[in-house]
Structure formats: structure tokens, C-alpha cells
Amino acid sequence: MKPFFEVNPRSYLVSESLKGESNEVAHIDMLIGPEDGYIGETFADTLSRQTEGHSNLLAVVKPNELVLPPTVTFAKVTIKKLKQVVHMFGDAQAAVALAVGDALKAGKFDKLIDDPRKLRIVVGVFVHWQADNGKKVLEYNYLATSAAIDNAINLYPSRDDVIKFVETAAKHPFSAFADGDEFPAALAAMRKGAGY
């Protein structure tokens, strides 16, 4: 079977994953695609467009050792405190690099392209401004990045998965209903009235 991007050269994969808890929770948004497609352009734009509080950086296994496929990370929240900088440039970035490197080692990207140097990954990283435990930031971002890679490669969720999520009114952990309350009757009526 030909790698996905040989058959679909202008395509890209979109994924996300949430892992962990408390202020160290990790939420990863991910785009994966060929270097000569949309994601290659997005990769270059993300790396070259730096703004105050949003320093985008390459994922490296350690200084001077870029991970393959080349991966750029960007902060999804404004970095204001030194501790956030340390978590973003250290723990979170390292976690992303290690997860990408482990996926490379496991051969996961072989399903997508014949040469990992021709692939680009763009990763949005959430680092809470009150995160305190760097080991948990590293762990949760590693788990979230690994899950996002698997979700992307496996084209998850499917159409049927999304329909099931909506039918069961799955709750987002950061929504007003994260405490386990049922959706209010007004919301249920609104959805039903709209044909859902």
C-alpha cells in the first residue's frame, strides 16, 4: 500500500488530544502534512512569525538535535511568566519532540510518507499559567502528543465516532457542564428544535 501522502499529496491531517489534570493538563492541536503542501507553508510561517508572549520553536530532542519529522510548536496561550517559559521551552517542547521521535522509531510515519524529512508537523501546546509541576507538564504533553499522532494517522475520529459523541452529548472538561451535570433542558430543547 502506498503511503497516504503519495496518494493525497495536497492533503493534511488534523488532530488533537487532551491528557492529564489540574493546572498541568495538556491540550495538543496538531497538523501533519507534506513539506511541499499547505502544512509545509504553515510550518515555515509558524516558525518565522514570532510575537510577544508567543515564541514558536522547533521541537528538539536536546539542543542541536532536531526531531524528525521536523516539528514546530507554538503556545496556544500568551506566555507571561518565567515559569511558563521554562515549561514551554523545556518540558512541553521536550515532550512533543520525544513523542514525535518515538512515533518515528515505531514506524508510524511510514504510513504517511516514504521519507520523514519530507513531512512537517505543527503542534499547538497549552501551558497553563499556574502550572507548577514540570514533570507532570512533560508527562501529560508526551501522552497528549502521542495520542494526537495516533489519532491523525488512524484518521480518528470517523464520521460515526463524531455522531456518537454528539448523540451522547459528550462533555468537554472545561465546559460549564464539566462537573457532571446533565445538559440543561433548554439546551436539549434548542438542539431538538434545530433538528438535532
- 3-state DSSP helix/strand/coil percent for the chain, to nearest 5? 45, 20, 35
Given 27, 54, 87, 172, the catalytic residue: 27
Report the chain's mean pLDDT, rounded to a whole number: 88
* Calpha distance 61→98 (Å, rounded): 6
- Contacts of residues 175-180 at CB distance under 8 Å and 24 or more positions apart, as own/partner, are none
DSSP conformation class of 13: E
User: Is 172 considered catalytic here?
Assistant: no
Peptide bond into 69 cis (omega under 30): yes
Please name each of the domains of the chain with its CATH number: 4-156 (3.30.230.60), 157-196 (no CATH)
| Cα–Cα dist 168/53, whole Å | 38
What average pLDDT score do residues 32-44 get?
95
Q: What pTM value is reported for the model?
A: 0.88
Mean pLDDT of 8-21: 92
pLDDT tens digits for range 139-175: 999 999 999 999 999 999 999 998 887 777 656 666 6
> Percent of the chain, pLDDT > 90?
66
- For 79-109, the pLDDT digits (tens) are 888 888 889 999 999 999 999 999 999 999 9
